[in-house]
Structures are given as structure tokens and as C-alpha cells.
Amino acid sequence: MRTIDWAGDHVVAVDQTLLPGEVRMLALCDVDAVIDAIGRLAVRGAPAIGVAGGLGVALAARTGRDPEWVRSEAARLRAARPTAVNLAWAVDRVLAHVDEGAEAVLDAAVALLEADISANRALGARGAALVRELVAGPVAVHTHCNTGALACVEWGTALGVVRSLHQEGLVRLVFADETRPLLQGARLTAFELGEMGVPYRLVVDGAGPSVIARGLVDIVLVGADRVAANGDVANKIGTYPLALAAARAGIPFIVAAPESTLDRATPDGAHITIEERDPGEVLAFGGVRSAPVGALAYNPAFDITPADLVTAVVTDTRVIRPARGERVA
Ligand code: MRU
């Protein structure tokens, strides 16, 4: 099953806010519905929101309104979330066809969706080869957030590498951070690892660095929302401590991301906008308020891992070594 798809005259997508309890498809029939789904993380993960943005442009074009109006709708889609570059990338690529008519726009959006599948399959194979090169035997992996099929159209990025390794019998164990505050690890990664039949242990976010320090992990594998030209990586908040711990323990810290996540126009992590979400997400756990009335919270959704801590960024076409000073541009 695809996480997101075109259904003839509208977009269908798995509502990720309901998982793992319920697998329900959302019908997204206009730009407002796409923006709402992206904003509340019903559709989430950098590649998936890129595909949603591209299909959103197609929905706008199919209304028959003039290209200027479609451009203004595309600007709203682009702004639905700021950190993952895939969203702006996909919207711009699809919008480039706006003067050719609605069918051309839709064809571009669907082509982008299909390309996401092939890119992530290629990334899985290339990433698995890199892991085999770096670590001998069945590996213990530490991962963060959700980077599986649910974050893309199919297959996944970092979890796609795990999927590819698992097919070769090369995954011993995956430690998955629960990923506060929205629990993408506990709800989504655990769900996908269970479906794959990969042995895993969920850990609280704060446990990650000490699990690594105790020698229980061979390699850290995470995804990315944006990789700057110098190799700085924006990913889900809580990624940076894993990179520090991996460096201290002397194990590889690998970022798996399709080429569409590389942002040559942004020089370094300091120029990446970090999304700040509703403090209410931190003040509650599983929808139940956990902090005292009057408590205040700060809720950055992503962090920046500096390039010198990134052993490699593996994409669908190449391996880049930021810690050795290699640039993505
Ligand atoms: O806020 P989210 O759940 O959209 O954040 C997702 C992540 O940080 C992922 O690690 C990243 O998008 C890579 S997904 C293939």
C-alpha cells in the first residue's frame, strides 16, 4: 500500500495521526485539505510532504483557474511547513508546468510520486552496501523519528536501508527512539518494524546516547529534512545528541536521504529555518495534559547536526562524506 497516491480526481493518504490504532485513508480534494494534512502531520516525513505538495499544485491547476491563482496556491503549499526542503522543491518542479495546462501539471506531480519510489529503493540498496562496507556482520542500528514507507510513498529512507539490510538477513536489532512529542518512533517506526519482522526495542529519547555509549549499537542511521551545501543536516529534534554520542563512541553516523533532500542553495545549517510547533504538544503526553497549569514550553521540531559529525550522507545516486569536508554541492 502506498502512503500517498493520486486517485483519479483527488489525493489519498494514510492518516498518520491515527496510527498504529487505525489505518484510515484521507481523501484530500483541495489545497486547503492538503495544507491541513501537512500542518497537523497526518501526512509527514520529508519525501511524503514533497509529494503531497506536488499533488496539491495539481489539484489547484485542475480547478481551471488562471495560472496566477495556481501560483498563489503553490506559495501557500510551499509555506505549509518550513524545514523539509522536499516540499518547496516538489511544489516548484510541478509548478514549472503551470502554463502547459492542468494535465501537464498532473503528469509532473505523478511523475514525481513515481520517482520518489524508485529513488528510495535505490537509496535502500546503496545505503545497505555502505553499511556492509562500514560494519561487519548482522548490525545493531539506532534510529530516530520515522523514516519508513510512511514518510515517503513506499520503502523509506533510513528505514528503507534497514528494510534492504533485513532482506539480506543483516539486521540484528534496531533501537528506535520514541521521538517526543508526537511519538513518530513509538507509533510509526515500531509499527513498520513489526510489519517487516525486524527485531527492535523502543527506547525513550534520553536513552539514545547512553545506549550507544554502552556499546549496544554498531551504527546510527537517520533520515533528513534538509542537508545544507556544507553537509549540515536538519532532522527531527533529538538527532544531534545521537551524532555526538556516535562520534564519542567511534561508530558511524549515517544520514540516508534522496537527492531531493539536498539543498545546494542553503550554505549551512545556520540558514535553515527550524519549525517551532505548538507548545501544547510538549505540555501533554498522548493527548493528556502532563505539565502543570501555567507551565510554558518551547517546541522546536528539528535540530541541526553539524557536518563534522556526519560520517556519510547516502543518497539514491552517491555517498558524500561531510566529516571529511566533502560538500553536497
Ligand atoms: O515532523 P516529521 O515527522 O515530518 O519529521 C520527519 C523527520 O524528521 C524525518 O526524519 C525526515 O523527514 C526524513 S523522512 C524520510
pLDDT (tens digit per residue) in 235-249: 999 999 999 999 999
List % helix, strand, coil for the chain (3-state, nearest 5): 45, 20, 35
Residue 260: phi and psi, rounded to 5, are: -65, -10
Nearest in space to 235 (alpha carbons), one of 17, 42, 46, 91: 46
Cα separation of 272 and 20, whole Å? 31
Ligand 1 pocket, residue 223 CB under 6 Å = yes
9 annotated active-site: no
Catalytic-role residue among 116, 225, 263, 316 = 225
State residue 1's pLDDT score. Answer: 86
Contact (CB, 8 A) for 3 and 26: no
Residue 307: pLDDT band by 50, 70, 90 thresholds? Answer: very high
Ligand 1 pocket, residue 301 CB under 6 Å = yes
The residue contributing the CA closest to ligand 1 atom 8 is 236
Residue 112: pLDDT band by 50, 70, 90 thresholds? Answer: very high
pLDDT, tens digit (0-9, with 9 covering 90-100), for 166-209: 999 999 999 999 999 999 999 999 999 999 999 999 999 999 99
Cα separation of 4 and 152, whole Å? 8
Q: How far is the CA of 62 from the centre of ligand 1 (A)?
A: 29
The residue contributing the CA closest to ligand 1 atom 10 is 223
Q: How far is the CA of 184 from the centre of ligand 1 (A)?
A: 9
State residue 74's pLDDT score. Answer: 98
- Global pTM value: 0.97
Angle in degrees, CA 114, 221, 48, rounded to 5 = 30
Atom of ligand 1 nearest to the CA of 46: 12
Mean pLDDT across the stretch 119-127? 98
